[in-house]
Amino acid sequence: MKERITVTLNKHLLSDLDNLIDGVSIRNRSHAIEFLLKKALNRKKLKKAYILAGGKGTRLRPITYEIPKPMVPIKGRPILEHTIELLRKYDVRDVIITIGYLGEKIKEYFGDGSKFGVKITYIEEDEALGTAGALRLAKPLLDETFIMFNGDNLVNIDIESLYEFHKQGKAKATIALTTVDDPTSYGVAVLEGPRIKAFLEKPKNPPSKLINAGVYILEPEIIDLVPKGPSMIETDVFPQILEQGKLFGYPFEGQWLPTDNTERYERAIKEWRGIT
């Protein structure tokens, strides 16, 4: 959470502050002051991102017969590129991507990531391992707190605030939560304060409208909870963390659009406003 304060500055200092604003990495005076304070206080920041991009996208066929799901275009650019743009906005530059089905097309487009302002490392799945199983492959690279994305969602979230919320609560896992009218086809969370007290996958009678947005802040030790072979973070890992009281939920109001079937994909094309 952020709070508004009033700051009085010398005109010459204010002029120096304005010179930092480029409209991209530093957007305004408030952002410039926050940037300088964090630098002065040597605050630890989020550095690594892990993106799940190995799915076959069967519900998007026939499109995904030739195009991997994360490469399906929205506003003229692949879904995955919008996620990388969000990461770059918050200066998360170390990106690990799990690829599988038609993964070579993802590698051909993004390369080492340098053209997109990030460094990309690829982890290749020989078989589909699910949202948790794939984490085991990347364990040597995930040695600090990291953010994980499902590769088929479009999301505009304040990563910095999400990370700070996670650290303040000393959580092991924090799930970004958004609200939908019909939550029956999603993972639904019930909150007790900042903690998740129940997490139900696709319930027939949802106890809330807060759903899993497919964005997580995770501590590296949660990988040790992943069983061998194919597994899902929602059903095989989160229940263990919930029992420990270390599973937190972060409701946010930024735009979120899934693209996992043709109906949702069409809506995303019409409604996505981009990273701002």
Q: What local confidence, expressed as pLDDT, does residue 32 receive? A: 79
Q: What local confidence, expressed as pLDDT, does residue 2 receive? A: 63
Q: What is the DSSP letter of 162?
A: H
d(CA 68, CA 234): 23
pLDDT digit string, tens, across residues 259-268: 878 888 888 8
* Number of domains observed in the structure of the chain: 1
Q: What local confidence, expressed as pLDDT, does residue 7 receive? A: 79
Specify if 43 maps to a domain: no
Specify if 6 maps to a domain: no
Helix (H) or strand (E) holding 89: helix 79-89
Q: What local confidence, expressed as pLDDT, does residue 94 receive? A: 95
Residues in the chain: 276
Q: 202, 204, 209, 270: which one is catalytic?
A: 202
Specify if 8 maps to a domain: no
Specify if 142 maps to a domain: yes
Q: What local confidence, expressed as pLDDT, does residue 22 receive? A: 67
Q: What local confidence, expressed as pLDDT, does residue 225 receive? A: 94
Specify if 38 maps to a domain: no
Specify if 32 maps to a domain: no
Q: Which of 125, 160, 154 minimizes the C-alpha distance to 230?
A: 125
Specify whether 246 is catalytic: no
Residue 265: CATH number of its domain: 3.90.550.10
Specify if 37 maps to a domain: no
Q: Any idea of the CA torsion for 200, 204, 207, 212, to the nearest 10 degrees?
A: 40
Q: What local confidence, expressed as pLDDT, does residue 42 receive? A: 47
Q: Which of 187, 233, 213 minimizes the C-alpha distance to 83?
A: 213
For residue 104, count other CB atoms closer than 10 A to its CB.
11
Task: Tokens 């992943």: give the residue.
Answer: 226
Question: 108 lies in which domain range?
Answer: 48-271
Specify if 12 maps to a domain: no
d(CA 36, CA 121): 30
* Regions of the chain where pLDDT drops below 70: 1-2, 22-25, 35, 38-43, 57
Helix (H) or strand (E) holding 249: strand 247-251
